[in-house]
Amino acid sequence: MTQDNRSGRPQGRPPESDSRLSRVEAQLRGPFLLFFVSAVVWLLVASILGLISALQLQGFGGLLNGEAFTFGHVSAAQHNLFIYGWAFNAFFAINLWLTSQLGRFELRNAWLVTLGALVWNVTLTYGVLSIFAGDLNPFSLLEMPRGVGPVLALAFVLAAFWPIVAYARRPTGQSFASQWFIVGASFVFPLTYLLAQLLLLWNPASGVVQAIVHSWFIQNLLLLWVGGSALAAIYYFLPKVLGRNITGYYLATVAFWTFFLFAGWTGSASLLGSPIPLWVQSVGVVGSAMLLIPVIITALNFHGTLSADGGWSRAWNSTTLRFVCFGAVAFTLSGLINALFSFRGYNAVVRFTSFGVGQEQLLTYAFASMVIFGAAYFILPRLTGALWPSAKLVHLHFWATALAVLGSVSASLVVGWQSGNQLAGASGLASANVLFAILFLVGHVAFALNAFGMILKSTAPAAEGRHD
């Protein structure tokens, strides 16, 4: 996957719009909106469940009576809906749109994508209802019944195979970093998901091997699929909206290969101090340290581009880039914190505290979800031919979610560090989590009202439109 300059196109900068884009977008419109509406619905449900679980931790155990709504069930359902409902549906849509734009790919089998979307969301609904019914597994993000796994894998192939087709059928030898990350992510997830299902649920491995497999699966899921898809979006929208090349774009190839080489090996760093071989733990530590290579390169690419010619101020005045740049900064911080606290000395302090929750939220929300929001503000006006109904809701969405994630991540990291050092209680964190959950819900409702209002006003796909 190399950058071919024979076409004379600027490095790292997406092609400009032409008359063919409207045809490409028209064919994507139905599947994209189906994925996106599903994502927003699941985000709202996950936000409500998140608020309920925060209230339960605060002592409102009788908020919802019955065994189905115990904290364990509500928390597991919320986690699965946020990742498999919100993040997956959103990245199905965004990845398909990005690769179709960059590769001039016309989707002629939209019914297969639509089928994949329906199967994915119906199966997810069944899996979450099974969690509430008590039919759940003890592994995080694999709680749904084992029969759900193969069906989700099939739905993933139907929904996420098309970016690979779009890349293979691109009209020229030119390729972009966004395409590399999307294709890599689309290959990695189904393989790791099915292998984890096999070794944990269908033919369980013995002893500590289960813990190793599970940590490996979580890192591949969160870093390579969710993180890789979000990086692809940043590599597209940053130069697209700013109208300039990515700084040091020639290094993006190194970032791609090192990211996919080392990210999958970082899982065992979360098992430091557990009864697994020391060399396995050390592999995770080394993998986390080596992951600094793509983190530093992407920081040079993104922050270097923003630092030139007033890029930061221009980004602040663009709704799309305001969210995308928030995510870019969060990815850099996430990589640095992950590397630092993978070393045994620091890890021993924060082990078994809320610190790990803060790290995951920094990656999945502050980074990935904020990038998704930014992409939505760019893409939806093009596909619907409508403007965002309310500028005030846009601002409410940004400030509510930004303040909520900053507060939630900071509280989890700080309380985790303090409790590790002083064995302090976490009652203050539980109280703060209720406030942050309310802010998240307010921001998500504002975004949903705006998005659904735009979709209901939808006319026809537009080759050009108001993005912010």
Split the chain (468 residues) into runs of 10 and give each run's mean pLDDT.
38 53 74 95 96 84 74 94 97 94 83 94 97 93 95 94 86 86 95 95 92 95 97 96 94 97 92 90 94 97 91 92 97 95 88 88 96 96 89 96 94 82 56 88 95 80 41
pLDDT, residue 263, reads 94
Report domain extents, the chain: 20-175
Residue 371 sits at φ, ψ, to 5 deg, of -65, -40
> How many Å apart are CA 133 and CA 240, to the nearest integer?
47
State pLDDT tens for residues 385-408: 888 999 999 999 999 999 999 999
Q: Which residues of 259-274 are buried (b: 16+ CB within 10 A; e: fewer)?
A: bbebbbbbbbbbbbee
pLDDT, residue 240, reads 94
Contact 360, 409 (CB under 8 A): no
DSSP string covering 207-221? TTHHHHHHHHHHHII
> How many Å apart are CA 297 and CA 437, to the nearest integer?
34
What are the start-end ranges of the H helices in 133-147? none
171 φ/ψ sector (left φ>0, alpha ψ -120 to 50, else beta): alpha
Residue recorded with tokens 């990005």:
98
State pLDDT tens for residues 46-89: 999 999 998 888 777 666 677 888 889 999 999 999 999 999 99
> How many Å apart are CA 227 and CA 259, to the nearest integer?
10
> How many Å apart are CA 307 and CA 378, to the nearest integer?
22
Question: How many CB atoms neighbour CB 307 within 10 A?
Answer: 11
Look up residue 273 and give its two tokens.
Answer: 């101090």
pLDDT, residue 103, reads 83
What are the start-end ranges of the H helices in 276-390? 278-290, 292-307, 311-316, 319-340, 344-350, 355-361, 370-384
> How many Å apart are CA 198 and CA 414, to the nearest integer?
37
pTM: 0.91
